[in-house]
Structure 1
Amino acid sequence: MSCRFILLTNNPRYKDRTDLPVQFVGGAGKDVITAGRDLIHQGWALQNHPLYGNFRPHQQPFRTLLMKKDEKAGFDEYGLNLIEEAALVYTNDPYPLTPEQTPSRMAADCSEIDFELMKETLLKNNLIH
């Protein structure tokens, strides 16, 4: 098959999901954005908006990106522009929320929100049913 996926995330909700192609990224949302940008430069395509749910870095410690590698597709310039804009949002936020500094009850809620917001993207790409 010439098409494959990687789910980049720092959300612990995905850690034990053996049914999904999860690549866990330690650190904050900015680290997930950086890992996604690096994959785009390696020929992967972004499948969801990097700032989905309109959450800013000081509001949501978790970030999840679905990346697709399709040997027939060209370079994802649009995805690169989106992810570079998202990286600027993270850079310009003076108080980004990290998983380590998030109170456990809030972290559980943020984890669930991130998970729910990704469902449509995962369904659309036939990764969940």
Structure 2
Amino acid sequence: MRIVTNNPKVNKEIEGQKIYFIDGDYGDVLETTKEMIIDERQVLLSHPLSGSIKPNETFYKSIFLNSQKSEYVDLYSLELIESAQATYNKFVADKATPKWTEEILEDFQMVDYHLVEATLTRIQIPPNYL
């Protein structure tokens, strides 16, 4: 399994997983994930808009992908990521992500981190997806 993230807390705290750290914003995580789906034929294991925070309200995002290269581009994963990008772009066009204080950014890091942690500890992923 691979986690694509721009969250420094996920990058630092999550061990035993392949972390692909993005030095960018939420949109950069979506774009990198799309490139991995196309170029590396990765398959999404989590929805790119998971969580209850609107994409223009938070800076951080973590997305789960399988780590095995598929024979073909997974069209369902591609459709989901492109739909997530359209949603992200719509929200950002309506209202840009605020310039949050460091304290609030740390709160958003914690929220994303807990989503990742809960996924890793509570969800059983079939071995053929890892």
TM bin (shorter chain): 0.7 to 0.9
- TM-score, normalised on structure 1? 0.80
Given the superposition, is the C-alpha separation of residues 54 and 80 from structure 1 closer, same or farther in structure 2, using an over 3 Å criterion? farther
Show structure 2 runs of 5+ residues with no match: none
Number of positions where the alignment pairs a residue of Structure 1 with one of Structure 2: 120
Does the CA-based 8 Å contact 2:43-2:70 persist in structure 1? no
Show structure 1 runs of 5+ residues with no match: none
Match of 2:109 in 1: 111
TM-superposed deviation, 1:71? 4.6
Encode CA deviations 1:15-65: one digit per residue, 9 max, x unaligned: 324432111101110000001111111210111010001322221110001
1:53 and 2:55 correspond: no
Query: Quick check: which one's strand share is greater?
Result: 1
1:35 and 2:44 correspond: no
Encode CA deviations 1:70-123: one digit per residue, 9 max, x unaligned: 35675322111111011001211223427xx32111111111111111233323
1:26-105 pair list within 5 angstroms:
26-41=23-38, 42-71=40-69, 74-93=72-91, 94=93, 95-97=95-97, 101-105=99-103
Does the CA-based 8 Å contact 1:28-1:97 persist in structure 2? no
Identity level (%): 23
Q: Which deviates more from structure 2 when the two are superposed, residues 28-37 or residues 9-18?
A: 9-18
Query: What RMSD, in angstroms, separates the aligned Cα atoms of the two structures?
Result: 2.1
